[in-house]
């Protein structure tokens, strides 16, 4: 009766479960008891997960603060800002860490240098090949032009009084422009 009055007066959902000494169950609910119990259990789970998240967050915050302090100490050590709280072990660890970092940096520098050297050597070889090919093409064009010029001269510019060394050359590959000679008979 009191649970019902409380429900009406407070405009609240009320559920009451009572076991007497003999073990008999008595229950009252202003709404469905099953819905009320499920609502209560969901609320409890929400509180527990929220509490767990808060505890986890607090643990994370403590760990973050410790890591920040460690980083700050290492930065001060690296700058040479030495305080009384630093032990010999910390200095040894710092020295070892710095040596490993230096070795990694030197190794990476060597790798980069080697890669750059290989790249530049490959570029040099390509440039030399291109230069050789271009030089050969230039020589071929030069021979062709000289051959055509002498051939033209033989066909259109020669008279019967002149003797030409190149009148019998029919192939430009047999032609050597550096062995030219011309004799004139007067």
Phi and psi of 24, rounded to 5°? Answer: -80, 140
Range 17-34 average pLDDT: 80
Half-sphere exposure (CA, 13 Å, Cβ side) for 71? 6
Find the mean pLDDT for residues 104-113.
Answer: 93
Domain boundaries, the chain: 99-186
Mean pLDDT of 19-32: 80
Window from 6-10, 138-142, 145-149 with minimum mean pLDDT: 6-10
Residue 155 has pLDDT above 90, yes or no: no
Task: Take residue 120 and report the two structure tokens written for it.
Answer: 């530049």
Instruction: Tell me the C-alpha distance between 118 and 63, whole Å.
Output: 47
Residue 52 has pLDDT above 90, yes or no: no
Query: 55-101, pLDDT tens digit by residue?
Result: 666 777 777 788 788 778 777 767 766 666 667 787 788 788 889 98
Identify the three-state secondary structure at position 98.
helix
What is the reported pLDDT for 2?
Answer: 75
The upper half-sphere exposure of residue 109, i.e. CA atoms within 13 Å in the direction of its Cβ, equals 6
């Amino acid at each position: 009766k009191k649970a019902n009055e409380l429900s009406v007066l407070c405009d609240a959902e009320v559920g009451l479960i009572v076991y007497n000494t003999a073990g008999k169950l008595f229950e009252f609910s202003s709404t469905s008891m099953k819905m009320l119990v499920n609502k209560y259990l969901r609320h409890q789970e929400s509180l527990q997960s929220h509490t767990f998240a808060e505890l986890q967050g607090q643990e994370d915050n403590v760990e973050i603060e410790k890591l920040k302090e460690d980083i700050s100490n290492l930065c001060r050590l690296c700058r040479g800002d030495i305080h009384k709280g630093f032990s010999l072990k910390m200095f040894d660890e710092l020295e070892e860490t710095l040596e490993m970092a230096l070795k990694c940096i030197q190794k990476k520098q060597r790798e980069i240098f080697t890669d750059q050297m290989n790249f530049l050597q490959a570029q040099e070889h390509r440039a030399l090949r291109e230069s050789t090919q271009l030089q050969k093409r230039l020589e071929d064009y030069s021979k062709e032009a000289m051959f055509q010029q002498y051939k033209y001269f033989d066909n259109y510019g020669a008279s019967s009084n002149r003797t030409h060394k190149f009148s019998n050359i029919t192939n430009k590959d047999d032609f050597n422009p550096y062995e030219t000679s011309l004799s004139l008979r007067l």
